[in-house]
Homo-oligomer: A and B are copies of this chain.
Amino acid sequence: MEKVKIGLIGCGRIGKLHGTNLCHAVEAADLVAVADPYLNDGMKEWAKDMGIPQVSNDPESIFTNPEIQAVWICSSTPTHADFIKRAAKAGKDVFCEKPIDTDPAKIREALAAVKEAGVKLQIGFVRRFDHNHKKVHDVVASGKLGKPNVVKVTSRDPDHQSMDYIKVSGGIYMDMTIHDFDMVRYLAGSNVTEVMAYGAALSGAGYDKLGDVDTTIVTMKFENGALGVIDNSRAAHYGYDQRTEVMCDKGCVQVSNDLNDQAMISSAEGVEISKPQWFFLERYNNAFIAEDAAFLDAIINKKESPVGAEDGLQPVLMAIAADKSLKEGRPVKISEIE
């Protein structure tokens, strides 16, 4: 089987996740190098366990390695755009975790570099590779239910992150809803032209002190005429609630959550079923493998990237617009941003 030689930049939680999948679960991958400026013993041990030959604290060691065909950028967000440009210049295909940046101008620069170099780019919107959401997309895209009319996403995290994290998260729209902004575009097969956001800090966990909210409902219009709605909560408590639905001309396709198991326990006290899987590591475990495999498939078989340049920009514009809508109490057009 043809394999692609890969260099991984960033060896934190998400970097190790991709790295382990590239070593153990994605057949077309040959992970030959890893680099992290903050390389530590744990990372070194992990790399040894995985049998990765080249380990360094210098990302340049990846870009200058002529054997490497593709780069996985899993470092912190502020480094993404520069690393993309550097990889493009080196002629390497790029997988980059989301978002490219929170500044549309920087994103556009990075995308221009990718375009100029003619390399492939995939953004890490992993949920597109989830069996459930992909099924919704595929049914809509097949056209058998007609055109989409209403796109709905419910997305709730199982529990609060630390307030230290929230403080630097960029706010709910850039940190959390951004996944759903990508999802609605994926499901509707269309860009969004306008958003309206309602939000509130209802949990008492202190989001309001940070100028942030823990609960939001965002409605939107799509270019193709459809309407959409996303509802988010930072703390569902019962697990990771990830549901999508598209109402079309002739019917509706919707997905409920994957549960921990299919048990039903019935007694005089009541009937109990199992909770949704706890968080993204369980729920999107297979999706992470599938997204890496999809990019390698695009590289090897010279297909278009399944999550390309436009997908790197639009959700960020939507997040900025939603934030503006919430603050100004009015609908905001995407064209107002930039």
Enumerate chain B residues within 8 angstroms of A255, measured Cβ to Cβ.
Answer: 261-264
Enumerate chain B residues within 8 angstroms of A25, measured Cβ to Cβ.
Answer: 24
* In the assembled complex, A256 has its CB within 8 A of some CB on chain B: yes
**Chain B residue with minimal CB distance to A231?**
B150
* In the assembled complex, A145 has its CB within 8 A of some CB on chain B: yes
* In the assembled complex, A267 has its CB within 8 A of some CB on chain B: yes
The answer to whether A219 touches B233, judged by C-beta atoms less than 8 angstroms apart, is no
The answer to whether A196 touches B24, judged by C-beta atoms less than 8 angstroms apart, is no
Contact mask for chain A residues 271-285; partner B; CB cutoff 8 A; 1 contact, 0 none: 111111000000000
**Chain B residue with minimal CB distance to A235?**
B249
Q: Tell me which residues from 206 to 227 in chain A have a Cβ below 8 Å from any Cβ of chain B.
A: 215-217, 219-221, 225-227
User: What's the number of copies of this chain in the assembled complex?
Assistant: 4
User: Whole-angstrom distance from the CB of A205 to the nearest CB of chain B?
Assistant: 11
The answer to whether A203 touches B237, judged by C-beta atoms less than 8 angstroms apart, is no
**A267-B237, A273-B271 given as contacts; is B200 within 8 A of A227 (CB)?**
yes
Which of A202, A220, A237, A266 counts the most chain B CB atoms within 10 A?
A: A266
**A145-B267, A202-B147, A262-B257 given as contacts; is B217 within 8 A of A237 (CB)?**
no
**Chain B residue with minimal CB distance to A270?**
B272
Enumerate chain B residues within 8 angstroms of A237, measured Cβ to Cβ.
Answer: 250-251, 267-268
**A131-B260, A215-B227, A262-B132 given as contacts; is B250 within 8 A of A241 (CB)?**
no
**Chain B residue with minimal CB distance to A244?**
B263
* In the assembled complex, A118 has its CB within 8 A of some CB on chain B: no
Which of A217, A239, A272 counts the most chain B CB atoms within 10 A?
A: A217
The answer to whether A202 touches B249, judged by C-beta atoms less than 8 angstroms apart, is yes
What total of chain A residues lie within 8 Å of the partner, measured CB to CB?
70
Enumerate chain B residues within 8 angstroms of A257, measured Cβ to Cβ.
Answer: 262
* In the assembled complex, A238 has its CB within 8 A of some CB on chain B: yes
Pick the residue among B136, B150, B260 that contacts A263 (CB under 8 A): B136
The complex places the Cα of A261 from the Cα of B135 at a distance, in Å, of 8
The answer to whether A149 touches B233, judged by C-beta atoms less than 8 angstroms apart, is yes
The answer to whether B253 touches A265, judged by C-beta atoms less than 8 angstroms apart, is yes
The answer to whether A271 touches B274, judged by C-beta atoms less than 8 angstroms apart, is yes
* In the assembled complex, A331 has its CB within 8 A of some CB on chain B: yes
The answer to whether A265 touches B251, judged by C-beta atoms less than 8 angstroms apart, is yes
The answer to whether A215 touches B150, judged by C-beta atoms less than 8 angstroms apart, is yes
Chain A positions within 8 Å of B, measured between CB atoms, are: 24-25, 51, 131-132, 135-136, 139, 145, 147, 149-150, 152, 156, 196, 198-200, 202-203, 215-217, 219-221, 225-229, 231, 233, 236-239, 241, 247, 249-276, 329-331
19 A-B contacts (beta carbon < 8 Å) = A131-B261, A135-B263, A139-B263, A145-B267, A150-B215, A202-B226, A216-B227, A229-B231, A238-B251, A238-B252, A241-B252, A252-B266, A253-B263, A253-B264, A256-B264, A264-B273, A271-B273, A329-B331, A330-B331
Known: A196-B331, A203-B249. 20 other contacts (CB 8 A): A131-B260, A132-B262, A135-B263, A135-B274, A139-B265, A147-B202, A150-B233, A196-B219, A198-B227, A219-B219, A231-B247, A236-B251, A238-B267, A253-B263, A253-B264, A256-B262, A258-B262, A259-B271, A270-B272, A271-B272
